[in-house]
Amino acid sequence: MTAHADIPAVRPRARISSRYLPYILSLPALLVCIGILVPFVTAIYYSLQRYRMSQPWNRGMNWGENYLNFLSDSSFWHTLQVSLVYAFLTVGIELLLGLGIALLLQKRSKVNNFVSIMLLMPLMTAPALAALMFKLMTNSNFGILSYFMQVLGFPDFRWGASPSTALFTVVLVDVWVYTPFIMILLLAGLRSLPTQPFEAAALDGVPRLEQFWRITLPMLTPYVLTAALFRLLDSIQQFDIIYAMTQGGPGNTLMVFQVEAYLNFFQSTNVGRSTALLLILWAITYILSNIFVKHWLRLRERARGEA
């Protein structure tokens, strides 16, 4: 017990270090992030300005005018519409496909595990590069997919180059990249479900289809919701795939929020409109992310509890 002698000296240091330690540990990470928060505030400021980089003399506060203009701006409504259609279309298709594949792979077996590992590959491909891959495959001269369409009797199927099929093309790429994400989440969910209800249902002779609707789906709902919200958050902000595939074209067919804002900023140098657009997108994602975080936290609690 030699420690006794230096207790008085130890005492003040001990209290300070244990109280401030967590702040000291997290401070560097916070500082880096503050550097990121500053531009966010700047964006709000810009969005309240008449600000074109090409017309510096004309710059000034116009308060909510950028936002008010949107009300009568048909291209804004088009952007909102395309973004929502894109988001709900991709997430809807991916949910159905992902759930179907997860059910196919539910049983643990060598083949199923191998397939689920294979399906990681599209998810790990950079979305921009995935878009390029599809661009090569849909090239009208040599693209294998164009050839398939020709064989199927659609010689004029022009994929990303035609306004009528551009949306289909980018949705296809999105589905290719992100369906595995939903599949993986739902598969993990399916495999973590308790087995007793299913055993009981099997004993009672409940048909398999009814088991799915009455037991599997309700128990899987939290996972489906979390996966859907997570994807919706990403999908409504999609940039990489659309920009790499068509840069929002042809014409303005695929002008989703971020692509429109990017082009506004760099091509028409309209900083005010561009940042106002992004803030509206931010508001949408903020609401979505709050709902998401609630569901996600609940699932996370559960996952930690089981571990």
Chain mean position to CA 158? 27
At 174, list the tokens.
């999105």
Under the binding rule (CB under 8 A), the answer on residue 282 touching another protein is yes
Residue 281, class by beta-carbon neighbours within 10 Å (0-12 exposed, 13-18 middle, 19+ buried)?
Answer: buried
Size of residue set near another protein by CB under 8 A = 104
CB 269 within 8 A of CB 52: yes
Angle (CA) 143 147 148, round 5°: 120
Under the binding rule (CB under 8 A), the answer on residue 181 touching another protein is yes
Give the footprint of another protein on residues 53-82 (CB under 8 A): none
Under the binding rule (CB under 8 A), the answer on residue 141 touching another protein is yes
Using CB under 8 A, pick the residue from 61, 188, 200, 217 that binds another protein. Answer: 188
Under the binding rule (CB under 8 A), the answer on residue 39 touching another protein is yes
Under the binding rule (CB under 8 A), the answer on residue 303 touching another protein is yes
CB 26 within 8 A of CB 32: no
User: Closest distance between another protein and the C-beta of residue 158, in Å?
Assistant: 17
Under the binding rule (CB under 8 A), the answer on residue 98 touching another protein is no
Under the binding rule (CB under 8 A), the answer on residue 120 touching another protein is yes
User: Closest distance between another protein and the C-beta of residue 138, in Å?
Assistant: 11
Residue 301 has a CB neighbour count (10 Å cut-off) of: 10
User: Closest distance between another protein and the C-beta of residue 156, in Å?
Assistant: 16
Angle (CA) 87 253 50, round 5°: 90
By beta-carbon proximity to another protein, the closer residue of 133 and 219 is: 133
At 101, list the tokens.
């594949």
Using CB under 8 A, pick the residue from 32, 71, 203, 209 that binds another protein. Answer: 32
Chain mean position to CA 246? 20
Under the binding rule (CB under 8 A), the answer on residue 89 touching another protein is no
Under the binding rule (CB under 8 A), the answer on residue 291 touching another protein is no
In whole angstroms, give the CA distance from residue 105 to residue 111.
Answer: 9
User: Closest distance between another protein and the C-beta of residue 72, in Å?
Assistant: 24
Q: What is the CA radius of gyration of the chain?
A: 26
Nearest alpha carbon to residue 85 among 232, 239, 251: 232
Give the footprint of another protein on residues 230-259 (CB under 8 A): 230, 233, 237, 239-240, 243-244, 257-258
Under the binding rule (CB under 8 A), the answer on residue 165 touching another protein is no
Q: What are phi and psi of 256, to 5 degrees?
A: -80, 170
Using CB under 8 A, pick the residue from 62, 162, 252, 285 that binds another protein. Answer: 285
Under the binding rule (CB under 8 A), the answer on residue 203 touching another protein is no
By beta-carbon proximity to another protein, the closer residue of 72 and 141 is: 141
